[in-house]
Amino acid sequence: MQFTDKNRGGLLGQGSVLTVTANGIQTSPVIRGVWMLEHVLGTPTPPPLDDVPAIDSDIRGVTTVKAQLEKHRSSAACNECHRKIDQLGFAMECFDPIGRTRTTYDVRGKRVDTAGILPSGESFSNLADLKTILVRHEDFFVRTLVTHLLTHALGRHIELEDRFAIDKIMLSVEDDGYSSEIWS
């Protein structure tokens, strides 16, 4: 199925993913970014350190969600994780808590800014651009998918000994060219 909205197609544009990465009332680039790191890129995020403060509730002088998170990243301890998380989440902010497309956050007209720069230096202006970048690194996604499927098939967490099986499956699907159907 071809979508006219380039942000919509594929896994990251599905309503189920967009709903599970929101709380029903509002979205969070942090929650969406963590979900993408863990479920798409297979990169678990460590829990915040005990001495790392929550996102500052004092948002004086900050007018956007992006600016609030930039202020949070100004702390070196926060920046270590949030430089990887936030950018991915910004791309998904073009969708509201239940997956409807949006260009503003609220009736006051605060514009949604979906642009970002990944730690690799690659930049994107929207989710469609980010998906293009992610497709260039599809081995991360495929390894994550294989690992999740094997976890469900075995009914347990993956152990160190399971790496051989995962590598063998990866070689098999790589030989098939990572069927592009998963991306459309």
The answer to whether the beta carbons of residues 38 and 21 sit under 8 Å apart is: no
Assigned token pair, 100:
């409807």
Asked if 128 and 6 touch (Cβ cutoff 8 Å), the reply is: yes
Instruction: Please check whether residues 26 and 109 belong to one and the same domain.
Output: yes
Task: Tell me, yes or no, whether 131 and 145 share the same domain.
Answer: no
| Non-local CB neighbours of 154 within 8 Å, separated by 6+ positions | 162
Mean pLDDT, residues 82-98 taken together: 92
Percent of the chain with pLDDT over 70: 86
User: Looking at residues 176-181, what average pLDDT do you find?
Assistant: 62
Say what the pLDDT of residue 184 is.
Answer: 44
Average pLDDT over residues 134-160: 90
Helices (H) and strands (E) in the chain, counts: 7, 2
pLDDT value at position 51? 67
Answer with the residue of higher pLDDT: 70 or 88.
Answer: 88
pLDDT of residue 59: 54
pLDDT of residue 110: 83
Res. 178: pLDDT tops 90: no
Whether 2 is covered by a domain: the verdict is no
Q: Could you tell me if 54 and 102 lie in one domain?
A: yes
Phi and psi at 114, nearest 5°, equal -100, 5
One domain, residues 101 and 87: yes
Q: What is the pTM of this model?
A: 0.79
Is residue 48 located within the same domain as residue 81?
A: yes
Quick one: which H or E segment has residue 91? helix 76-91
Burial of 178 (0-12, 13-18, 19+ CB in 10 A): middle
Domain that holds residue 18: 11-135
- The predicted-structure confidence for 54-71, as pLDDT tens digits, reads as follows 665 555 556 677 777 777
Are 82 and 171 in the same domain? no
Residues 72 and 118 in one domain: yes
Residue located via tokens 């070196």: 76
Q: Specify burial of residue 70 (Cβ count, 10 A radius: 0-12, 13-18, 19+).
A: middle
149 assigned to some structural domain:
yes
Give the chain's domain count: 2
Residue 79 lies inside a defined structural domain of this protein: yes
